[in-house]
Amino acid sequence: MRLWVLILLAKKRFVIKGVVEHNPYMKTFVFEESFKANPGQFAMVFIPGVGEKPFSLSSGESITVEKRGHFTEKFFEMGKGDFVYIREPLGIGFYRMNYLAIAGGSGIAPIIHLVHDGDVKTLLYGAKDKEHLILNSLEQRTEVRYATDDGSYGYPGFVTDLITKELVDEYEFFAICGPEVMMKHAADKLVEFGVPSENIELSLERYMKCGEGLCGICEISGRRVCVDGPVFTYDEVLKMPDFTKFKRAKSGKKVVL
């Protein structure tokens, strides 16, 4: 007889201890109690009467949120003493250390968690412009090289331009999070520089409903992002024809990404 263990997660109430405003688009909510999740794992955040959405955790007790739609607008209105419900830890996170990390836009969120845990040696971090960057906090824990599309801060151009053979040769493991096309460029460049694809970890995102592997809506070429990911190694991602191409909409219909 085998052992059959199957437990779902009950959500728990978390009270906000403080809010850090990084820029007009991004805030970090710090909670009174800490999470169980490791870097790269995620949480389903429920605001009663508003909805529920998946978020990466940015540390053992915080979530960094980018304003995107109705849910995050409501989230942005919350402050000290307000509460949300959180289901965590969900999914599989990053599982190596001493990374060269590459982040684009709001893809910085799970990378912040890695930085907090001291697992990132160098961070390449790009965004649209200076106003979309989180500045003056990550530098305390790691070396950060910035890039902006419009040149308003750091290197003028794409964050993937900062990936050089010289830099890559110093590292064994690589963590990437950002828009899918950016992740593909970055990972392909690393492979070109001789990095084995299994040493590159990517954090993927898909529309989610249950967040616990039941409904299947977040599947990418058959892998359920909520339980098989969100962090996948690049050799696994290379077996997913839907990567950078398709996602499922709320109805389950496959749509172009």
Measured from the CB atom, the residue of 102 and 217 that comes closer to other proteins is 217
DSSP code of residue 3: -
Question: In angstroms, what is the minimal distance from the CB of 205 to other proteins?
Answer: 15
Residue 10 burial class via C-beta count within 10 angstroms: exposed 0-12, middle 13-18, buried 19 and up: exposed
> Residue 100's beta-bridge partner residues?
122, 174
Question: 């308003």: which residue's tokens?
Answer: 152
Q: Pseudo-torsion of CA 170, 174, 179, 181, nearest 10°?
A: 70
Site for other proteins contains 78 (CB under 8 A): no
Site for other proteins contains 256 (CB under 8 A): no
Tell me if residue 174 falls in helix, strand or coil: strand
Question: In angstroms, what is the minimal distance from the CB of 45 to other proteins?
Answer: 10
Among 19, 46, 121, 145, binds other proteins (CB under 8 A): 46
Question: In angstroms, what is the minimal distance from the CB of 225 to other proteins?
Answer: 11
**Which tokens is 225 given?**
């992002």
Site for other proteins contains 51 (CB under 8 A): yes
Span interacting with other proteins, options 106-114, 128-136, 138-146, 210-218, rule CB under 8 A: 210-218
**Which tokens is 57 given?**
């955790």
Q: State which of positions 79-98 bind other proteins (CB under 8 A).
A: 83, 85, 92
Q: Pseudo-torsion of CA 217, 11, 178, 79, nearest 10°?
A: 130
Give the C-alpha separation, 60 to 50, whole Å.
25
Binding mask 179-208 for other proteins (x = CB under 8 A): -----------------------------x
Site for other proteins contains 118 (CB under 8 A): no
Question: In angstroms, what is the minimal distance from the CB of 250 to other proteins?
Answer: 4
Span interacting with other proteins, options 34-42, 160-168, 183-191, 242-250, rule CB under 8 A: 242-250
Site for other proteins contains 67 (CB under 8 A): no
Residues 6 or more apart whose CB falls under 8 angstroms from that of 231 comprise 40, 91, 92, 93, 94, 95, 110, 201, 202, 203, 204
Peptide bond just before 196 cis, omega within 30 deg: no
Site for other proteins contains 245 (CB under 8 A): no
The residues of the shown chain that bind other proteins, judged by CB under 8 A, are 1-2, 4, 6, 8-11, 13, 44, 46, 48-49, 51-53, 83, 85, 92, 208-217, 219, 221-224, 227-228, 242, 248-254
